Amino acid sequence: MDLALSPKHTAFRDEVRAFIADALPAHLRPKAEIDGHFEHHEVMEWHRILYKKGWAAPNWPVEHGGPGLDATSRFILHDELELASTPPLSPFGLMMVGPAIIQFGTQDQQRRFLPKILAGEEVWCQGYSEPNAGSDLASLKTAAEDAGSHFVVNGQKTWTTYAQHANWIFCLVRTDPRAKKQSGITFLLIDLKTPGVTVKPFLTIGGTPAFSETWFDNVKVPKQNVVGSIDGGWTVAKALLGHERTQTAAVGVTGRTLRKCKRIAARTRVGDHMLIDDPVFRGKLARLEIRHRSLQMANWRALAGAQLGHAPGPESSILKIRGSELVQQAYELAMELMGHDALAWFPEPGVVADLEESVASQFCYFRATTIYAGSNEIQRNIIAKHILGLG
């Protein structure tokens, strides 16, 4: 056993770090420094820079424009981008519908959609959840009625993250209302400019319009926009969940948040000492960092397995649960460290330290991490059934 990165991977990590230091535009750096919130156009600017470098879609095969990196290099790239607080690229095209089209799409679909996803010329969002189909996704009701050469779609999708910035949405729709639950669902690509589509953003508790609701009122969608087979959408959706499981722990996000906590504590004076020297807070920080280290190790174990081409082992199933909890705990500690400053909501410059400006908003928004991508309760159901043999 050995914990050292291979020389090849060490060199790649150094290359990524050097690239970020060099390529992140000067006007985005202040936000990266303080781990601030990036606007859509800023994210897309960074997308185009990564695209030029060939790193926008690290997990795509080379023939579709991927860089041909192995599992460990992909993880390193992801982790370093997170650690450096670079603008987070939208995952819906690059990580979700792109791989789905690569795996299940026709050649026409691949030619039509993949280059524009890769280049950031078309932005995607996800239409899975509905007001009455959350964790029980298969009970979704948005209907696509067969009208010969096209479908007519009616219904409502929710949590369509950043749909207000998107050009396309990939949806799970019901094509066979008589079929049982998971059967009778189709994976459908819909152009958001089609007449009958309405997108309405709404604020999250973080004070940012991250989510939208999307309505479909007699929306005509050509049949060539089906990915996989008609009524076979559940297979496509399930395959998507299996991609890049080693990245679900977001250890880079927690790592940078703990670093931020230390910075806040090191700059906060309490009478005659700094907060970082308070044994209670220092102990809290150390405890969280230790949990983070353990999770990182579990993550490396999962990755070492993936690098060898093994199927994900039991350690990979815990990554999402503990990773999402740790991000929340790290932000909670940041809030505690800030004391009164934590109460400032989208403050004008100078009200609180730059480093602290976005903490309250992110602390609130990150309550979502244990809910999205399959709530942690659903994740526990899956582990109980498939790993522990309970139920």
Partner 1 sequence: MNFSLTEDQRMLADAALAFTRKQSPVSRMRKLRDDPIGWSPEVWRQMAELGWLGLTFPEAVGGLGGSFVDLALVLEQLGQTLVPEPIVPSLVAGMAILAAGDAAQQRAYLAPMVAGRSSLALAWAEADGRYDPGQVATRAERTSAGFRLIGHKRFVLDGHAAAELVVSAQDGEGVSLFVVDPKAPGVRVRPVRTLDGRRAALIDLDVEVAPDRRLAGNGKAALEHALDIGAAAACAEGVGVMRAVLAMTTEYLRTREQFGVKIGSFQVLQHRAVDMFIETELAYSAAIAAAIRIDDDNPAERTAAVTSAKVQLAESGRYVTQQAIQLHGGIGITDEHDVGLYFKRMVALNAMFGDAEHQLTRFAARPGFLAGV
Q: Confirm or reject binding of residue 112 to partner 1 (CB under 8 A).
A: no
Least distance between partner 1 and beta carbon 303 (Å): 7
Residue with tokens 């997308």: 47
46: closest CA among 34, 36, 55?
55
Q: Strands 168-174, 124-127: parallel, antiparallel or unpaired by DSSP?
A: parallel
CB nearer to partner 1: give 132 or 294.
294
Q: Which of residues 40, 150, 245, 262 is near partner 1 by CB under 8 A? A: 262
Considering the complex, state which of residue 150 and residue 263 has its C-beta at the smaller distance from partner 1.
263
Query: Is 315 near partner 1 (CB under 8 A)?
Result: yes
Distance CA 61, CA 70 (A): 11
Q: Lay out the site mask for partner 1 across 264-303 (x = CB under 8 A, - = otherwise).
A: --x---------x-----xx-xxx-xxx-xxx-xx-xx-x
Choose one: 149-157, 158-166, 186-194, 259-267; the region binding partner 1 (CB under 8 A). Answer: 259-267
Structural contact between residues 307 and 70, judged by C-beta atoms closer than 8 angstroms:
yes
| CA–CA gap between residue 74 and residue 316 (Å, rounded) | 16
For 75, residues 6+ apart whose C-beta sits below 8 A from its C-beta are 246, 247, 299, 303
Shorter beta-carbon distance to partner 1: residue 9 or 243: 9
Distance, in Å, from the CA atom of 224 to the CA atom of 106, rounded to the nearest integer, reads 9
* DSSP conformation class of 87: P
Known active-site residue 289 = no
Over the window 58 to 87, marking each residue x when it contacts partner 1 by CB under 8 A and - when it does not, the resulting string is: --------------x---------------
Does 354 engage in binding with partner 1 (CB under 8 A)? no
Instruction: For Cα atoms 9, 12, 13, give the angle at the middle one, nearest 5 degrees.
Output: 90
Whole-number Å distance between alpha carbons of 220 and 362: 38
Structure tokens, 345? 């909501």
Report the candidate in 370, 372, 382 with the shortest Cα–Cα distance to residue 321: 370
Residues 92-111 that bind partner 1 (CB under 8 A): none
Question: Residues 362-381: x/- map of binding to partner 1 (CB under 8 A)?
Answer: ---------------x--xx
Q: Does 6 sit near partner 1 (CB under 8 A)?
A: yes
> Residue 315 is inside which H or E element, if any?
helix 314-338
* Among 42, 145, 213, 244, the one annotated catalytic: 244
Judged by the rule CB under 8 A, the positions of this chain that interact with partner 1 are 1-6, 9, 72, 259, 262-263, 266, 276, 282-283, 285-287, 289-291, 293-295, 297-298, 300-301, 303-305, 307-308, 314-315, 318, 321-322, 377, 380-381, 383-384, 387-391
